[in-house]
Amino acid sequence: MKKHIAILKGDGIGPEIVDQALLVLNKVAEKFGHEFTYIEVAIGGCSIDKYGVPITEEGMNACKQADSVLLGAVGGPKWDGVDPSIRPEKALLAVRKELGLFANLRPTKLFSQLADASPLKQSIVGNGIDLMIVRELTGGIYFGKRRTESVDGEKVATDEMTYSEHEIERIGRVAFESARKRDKRLASVDKANVLDSSRLWRAVMHRLAEEYPDVEYSDILVDNTAMQLIKNPSQFDVIVTENMFGDILSDEASMLTGSIGMMPSASLSSTTLGMYESIHGSAPDIAGMDLANPIGTIMSAAMMLRYSFDMAEEADAIECAVNAVLDDGYRTADIWKEGMKKVGCKEMGAAVAARL
């Protein structure tokens, strides 16, 4: 197959982790007889420096015309002072919106080789962690109306959280379908004891639950979810939630697995066009030092093959290679412990590619 991929390396550790994912993708292409072509698009701070905007219109069009998009990370303290309308993160939100990427899948899986890398006790994570967070990605407070104004001599800032029934229903369907393919349990996270948007969310989810009687459905409040994820994470199979709650809970959940550097994600639309990125940030403190963990991005590339290109065998091959590398004791600094082989970003990428 021929596939054209837009590559958005971004800022901080973005370029180094994406380079390792490309090494792995090229190995897959060679091994399975595919042809992957790439177009690099500047995004985030590096684009602000070069073009004055976090993504150009041309760059955005290149993403729309590609078969899928692979992203590193955006942002960093260097651009904290720029006008909010051109912040690096704006470009990421704009790509999600313009490509219609409303469904963000964030699988949280503890590799058995890393069981003791989790900061939680063995009595809590010992039975394994395998949950899927389905985060709504193009609605809610990150895309609501916002303003900062002067009222009675002081500044007042407002961010609105809005959800419409169709937005809730389409993410709900993704979550129910995803539960069907897993352990058939779905927890819908909201704050229905306070927020109108959550009450609508819950009503729509209940309507859908009737269509999926084979899925065991439950409602759970977001504050309680934050606690339960630490107290008893294995109670969860699939979690579905709105944009901001999903952003926060997925960072929390990632620590169950030992390192946020391990966590991939897929942002899907109603077509096969998707964007794939690890859930972590640009980690400017270690950028360019060959210290970053590329596994989250490599596993995101595997999700791209699975979800956008329907290449299940190739995706499995990447996941097997990552497992083999961990079996062989390779660890980047974030997951390293005594007795293991400490490697940098490049060596980790090369080790995965070599096992394909």
Interacting residues with Mg ion (CB under 5 A)? 247
Q: What ranges in 157-294 are assigned the alpha helix state H?
A: 165-180, 196-211, 222-231, 243-254
**Is residue 11 a contact residue for ligand IPM (CB under 6 A)?**
no
**Shortest distance (Å) from residue 4 CB to ligand IPM:** 24
Partner whose footprint covers residue 92, from Mg ion, ligand IPM, none (CB < 5 to 8 Å by kind): ligand IPM
**Is residue 290 a contact residue for ligand IPM (CB under 6 A)?**
no
Coil, helix or strand for 29? helix
230-269 footprint of ligand IPM as x/- string (CB under 6 A): -----------------x----------------------
Q: Are 239 and 273 in contact (CB under 8 A)?
A: no
**Shortest distance (Å) from residue 251 CB to Mg ion:** 6
Looking at beta carbons, which residue is closest to Mg ion?
247
Residues 6+ apart with CB under 8 A from 252: 226, 229, 230
Between 247 and 314, whose beta carbon lies closer to Mg ion? Answer: 247
Q: Does 109 qualify as catalytic in the annotation?
A: no
Q: Does 130 qualify as catalytic in the annotation?
A: no
Between 3 and 90, whose beta carbon lies closer to Mg ion? Answer: 90
**Is residue 275 a contact residue for ligand IPM (CB under 6 A)?**
no
Calpha distance 55→48 (Å, rounded): 8
Phi/psi of residue 177, each to 5°? -60, -40
**Is residue 69 a contact residue for ligand IPM (CB under 6 A)?**
no
Coil, helix or strand for 3? strand
**Is residue 92 a contact residue for ligand IPM (CB under 6 A)?**
yes
Calpha distance 212→205 (Å, rounded): 10
**Which of 3, 90, 109, 191 does the annotation list as catalytic?**
191
Q: Does 191 qualify as catalytic in the annotation?
A: yes
Instruction: Give residue 119's Cα distance to chain centre.
Output: 21
**Is residue 5 a contact residue for ligand IPM (CB under 6 A)?**
no
Q: Does 251 qualify as catalytic in the annotation?
A: yes
Q: Are 261 and 295 in contact (CB under 8 A)?
A: yes
Tokens matching residue 36? 């992957």
**Is residue 133 a contact residue for ligand IPM (CB under 6 A)?**
no
Partner whose footprint covers residue 16, from ligand IPM, Mg ion, none (CB < 5 to 8 Å by kind): none
Calpha distance 314→154 (Å, rounded): 57
Calpha distance 105→238 (Å, rounded): 10
Calpha distance 352→24 (Å, rounded): 7
Between 217 and 245, whose beta carbon lies closer to ligand IPM? Answer: 245
**Is residue 89 a contact residue for ligand IPM (CB under 6 A)?**
yes
Partner whose footprint covers residue 89, from Mg ion, ligand IPM, none (CB < 5 to 8 Å by kind): ligand IPM
Q: Does 196 qualify as catalytic in the annotation?
A: no
DSSP string, 56-111: -HHHHHHHHHSSEEEEEE---GGGTTS-GGG-HHHHHHHHHHHTT--EEEEEEE--
Between 75 and 296, whose beta carbon lies closer to ligand IPM? Answer: 75
List residues binding ligand IPM (CB under 6 A). 75, 89, 92, 247, 279
- Which residues are part of the catalytic machinery? 142, 191, 223, 247, 251
